[in-house]
Structure 1
Amino acid sequence: MRLGIRFFLVYALFIGLTGYFVLNTVMKEIRPGVRQSTEETLVDTANLLAEVLRKDVKDGTLGQSHWPELLKAYGSRQPGATIWGLPKNQVNHRIYVTDAKGMVLLDSTGEAVGQDYSKWNDVYLTLRGEYGARSTRSELDDPASSVMHVGAPIRDNGQIIGVVTVAKPNSSLQPYVDRTENRLLWYGAGLVGLGLLFGALLSWWLSVALRRLTAYAQAVSEGRRAELPHYRGGELEQLSTAVEHMRTQLEGKAYVERYVHTLTHELKSPLAAIRGAAELLQGDMSHAQQQRFVSNIDSESARLQQLIERLLNLAQVEQRQGLEDQTRVPLATLVDEVLQAQCARIESAGLQVEQSITEEVRVFGEPFLLRQALGNLLENALDFTPPGGALRFSAQVCDGGVVFSLFNQAEPIPEYALPRLSERFYSLPRPSSGRKSTGLGLNFVEEVMKLHGGSLQIGNVPGGVQVVLHLHTVSTLPT
């Protein structure tokens, strides 16, 4: 199971348990909270009525007063109110009054007048000077039928002469309890959902970050170029820095070992030629022979210098993970610069050069590397172009990129050699001398194209050989 999924499952379990316990606790407190609030209102109402009814209870005129009619009219009222979105179309209070012995003197329902209520807690406790309240079911088997009763003492000169009780059925509160519970469930579910969504996004981000680091490590292990993932602070940035440091250390070690082997192998031949010529020069020979061996030492030394310089250039390009100085470069200007650098060689060979690239054609990249790559291509073309041959430079803009072509008149490249032309140290004999080059020029061009997100293609065409570079007109690489 992926780390991101594990993280999300643990997070979801935590959010789920937290949501369950919080919602469960709050839900349990809703019903008692509503009833406590209602009971507090009943206490206020009962005490208000106790003061209002005190004179009639003291005079014994409660039953003959206007109170029965008032309570009957109260019971038939239809408020037509809307409370928290719920309609209220009837009053639910029951009001009854008892004397000092607990006998009912007045009942808003008219059912209990004359009955003995002295045993009910609301009356019994209030007559004793205590807080009297009770909750009684109107139907013994139905918990929802319970009714809250709150009593208040009717006093005359400090003496309790009666009790007024205000009752309210709990069923009248149930719609508000249900509504509050439903809203709470919806809000709770929404918060849990948002929490899970946040957890999913966090897990996805963590998985993507780790996958990017994994892909980078995999690319490095396979020798491919890849962009180092960048993170702002935290353990991921530390991990990214550690992976990059490890890559640098490992690549540096492997790079040195590889190049020590290749450089040793390539230096053997010119060094052997120089040593042999030096040994022969120590003996007696004619001046013409001495000049020939001195010329060999000079050419082999130049070959060594060229090999070392090209190895250094190639090493710098291979070690780079991206471009440093990106800008839009006129391709015609680069071609003119490399042609100018080789003008003496071109003129001495009597070559015909055709440069048809306009100033409007521009490529996006690092000018120095592009100039070096074009210089290597031209040098390679000059090695194989016969005297009086032709060179043609052209470029076309298509699909947001530039296709650069260099044609040189030459013998076709053997089929077996085509796949290996950009391979390091692979080279074909030059027609003029029969000797091979360092075999690093085309490999350098290919590395430069990889850095620029382009490609190198070499193939035979009618009349000669054509090299094609695919470049970009806009930046396609991270800086």
Structure 2
Amino acid sequence: MRLGFGIFLGYFLIAILAGYFVLNVFVDEIKPSARQSMEDSLVDAANLLAELAVDDMVENRLAAGDFSKRVAAYQARQLDASIWGFSRKRPGFRIYITDAKGIVQYDSAHEDLGRDYSQWNDVYLTLKGQYGVRSSPAKALGESGSTIMHVAAPIKLDNKVIGVLTIAKSNLAVEPFIQRTQRKIETAGYWLLGASLLIGVLISLWLSASLQKLVAYAEAVTRGERVVLPALSLTEIKRLGLSLQSMRERLEGKRYIEEYTMTLTHEMKSPLTAIQAASELLQEPMPEEQKQKFLSSISDQARRLHVLIEKMLQQASLETRQTLENAERVNLSAVIKRALDGFGPKLEKKLLKLHVSIPDQAMVQGDPFLLEQVMLNLIENAADFSPRGGALGLTLERKDQVWSVCLRDHGSGIPDYAMGRVFERYYSLPRPEGGAKSTGLGLTFVKKVMDLHGGRVTLDNHPEGGAEARLDIPASL
């Protein structure tokens, strides 16, 4: 399972479960809350009507007294009320009064006069001095599936309970309000759930993007590529990336030291052995001519050691660098000219003809010293593989957004078996005419410098013979 999908799936399940439970809690609380509110209003109404019914109750004229007339007038009213968008046409109360024995003395519905209600909770509890309330099925009113709430209040005379007044109201009266509130809560809940899921997707993508960058960085390091730690947003992930980078640098530093020590030791053995042998022989009497030959050998081997050490120091300076530290606008044409001037004597020594075609100005962003070392390495490599009295061709031209340097020799070219290894560290081909191998670090150095400059180096055989090295360096704006 991909990390981003896993994060989103986990967030999705949490959001669904949270939404389900929250919505259910809200919805489950709507009906009780609405009915509690209705019951509170019925308590006030029942106690008010109980006070109004005292006189008719005492004088035993509930059926024809002022109370019954006022209730009948109330029931005949046309309300024409609009309550939060719901129309109300008729009164919704049913009122009945029982005496102190629980016998119905008055019923606004004219259905249960004379019946014994003493066992119903509303009457039974009120007569005992407690709060009386009950809910009963509404089948008698043709409202199947609903209930009717009965709220009672005592009718008192001289602080003595002489009867009970009960107000009955169908719970269906508040059902429209409950359903509308439920719909609104559910709609808002679905919108909230959708917004949560969208946020979850964005968070998952954000986390996944940072982690994918870190994974790609780790994989590139594993492959031995020189990559810069990507920009990471989350603090913890950024700290993890920095820890990986620090660990990489320490491990690379340790490995490079080991490799360089072993390579330097190996490469130095041959010239040191030759110098030691020549110096020992010089301690013995010998002809002047032979003496000069051994001295010349010592000088050549010392020079070889110097070149080896310089190359390895150059290489070591690049191994731990991820970016250019002293980048500036550089005229590549001037860099190439300086390199050619510095290499002029060797070209003349081999009688090499140089054909140069470069503009006066070619601006790039980079390190002038490193770029000059790159050109020196390429020219040296081309000169080494060129036959005596041969020719080199060097051109510099603009191609789209890069400056392209092309250096061609007219040697034997690159063997097929070496094509994939020319930039490999310490890999070197034998020079023509019995020349000694190089350190195998020059082209590796060139490639690393090009990587630091965001450029590219290629080395291929030319269709007309010889080898051709090409540098592509991004042009500076």
Instruction: Specify if TM > 0.5.
Output: yes
Q: Distance in 1 between matches of 2:57 and 2:143?
A: 35
SS at match of 2:139: coil
Are the equivalent residues in 2 in contact too, given 1:230–1:240 (CA < 8 A)?
no
| 1:104-127 residue CA offsets vs partner (Å, 9 max, x unmatched) | 555444444565545543334434
Change (3 A) 1:421 1:130: closer
| 1:43-79 residue CA offsets vs partner (Å, 9 max, x unmatched) | 11222333444455555565254414412323x4332
Residue in 2 that maps onto 1:94: 94
Worse-matched range after superposition: 8-17 or 133-142:
8-17
Map of 1:229-268 to 2, 5 A cutoff?
Answer: 229=230, 231=232, 235-268=236-269
Map of 1:31-180 to 2, 5 A cutoff?
Answer: 31-58=31-58, 63-65=64-66, 66-74=69-77, 76-83=78-85, 86-98=86-98, 104=104, 106-112=106-112, 117-139=117-139, 144-180=145-181
Amino acid at match of 1:77: L
| 1:206-249 residue CA offsets vs partner (Å, 9 max, x unmatched) | 55555444443333333222333565676544543443343234
Q: Distance in 1 between matches of 2:88 and 2:101?
A: 36
Residue in 2 that maps onto 1:293: 294
Are the equivalent residues in 1 in contact too, given 2:8–2:200 (CA < 8 A)?
yes
Amino acid at match of 1:367: P
Deviation, structure 1 residue 92: 2.4
Are the equivalent residues in 1 in contact too, given 2:123–2:132 (CA < 8 A)?
yes
SS at match of 1:393: strand
Length-normalised TM-score, structure 1:
0.82
Q: Distance in 1 between matches of 2:234 and 2:30?
A: 45
| 1:174-201 residue CA offsets vs partner (Å, 9 max, x unmatched) | 2333333444444445555555555565
Change (3 A) 1:266 1:53: same
Are the equivalent residues in 2 in contact too, given 1:78–1:91 (CA < 8 A)?
no
| 1:441-461 residue CA offsets vs partner (Å, 9 max, x unmatched) | 222112222333332122344
Amino acid at match of 1:139: K
Q: Distance in 2 between matches of 1:379 and 1:393?
A: 16
Deviation, structure 1 residue 280: 2.8
Residue in 2 that maps onto 1:367: 368
Q: Distance in 1 between matches of 2:125 and 2:412?
A: 119
Q: Distance in 2 between matches of 1:59 and 1:459?
A: 124
Q: Aligned residue pairs: how many?
A: 469
Residue in 2 that maps onto 1:306: 307
Q: Which runs of 5+ in 1 are unaligned?
A: none
Quote the sequence identity (%). 42
Q: Distance in 2 between matches of 1:246 and 1:468?
A: 35
Change (3 A) 1:68 1:100: same
SS at match of 1:374: helix
| 1:371-429 residue CA offsets vs partner (Å, 9 max, x unmatched) | 3212222333344555584543212231x333322345x33414435544333344455
Are the equivalent residues in 1 in contact too, given 2:394–2:405 (CA < 8 A)?
no
Q: Which runs of 5+ in 2 are unaligned?
A: none
Deviation, structure 1 residue 310: 0.4
Worse-matched range after superposition: 220-229 or 438-447:
220-229
Are the equivalent residues in 2 in contact too, given 1:363–1:472 (CA < 8 A)?
yes
Are the equivalent residues in 1 in contact too, given 2:103–2:118 (CA < 8 A)?
yes
Are the equivalent residues in 2 in contact too, given 1:71–1:108 (CA < 8 A)?
no
Q: Distance in 1 between matches of 2:59 and 2:369?
A: 116
Worse-matched range after superposition: 14-23 or 374-383:
14-23
Are the equivalent residues in 1 in contact too, given 2:413–2:465 (CA < 8 A)?
no
SS at match of 2:286: coil
Q: Distance in 2 between matches of 1:3 and 1:424?
A: 37
Change (3 A) 1:388 1:122: closer
Q: Distance in 2 between matches of 1:261 and 1:446?
A: 22
SS at match of 2:292: helix
Change (3 A) 1:135 1:199: same
Q: Distance in 2 between matches of 1:166 and 1:367?
A: 99
Change (3 A) 1:197 1:80: closer
Q: Distance in 2 between matches of 1:390 and 1:13?
A: 69
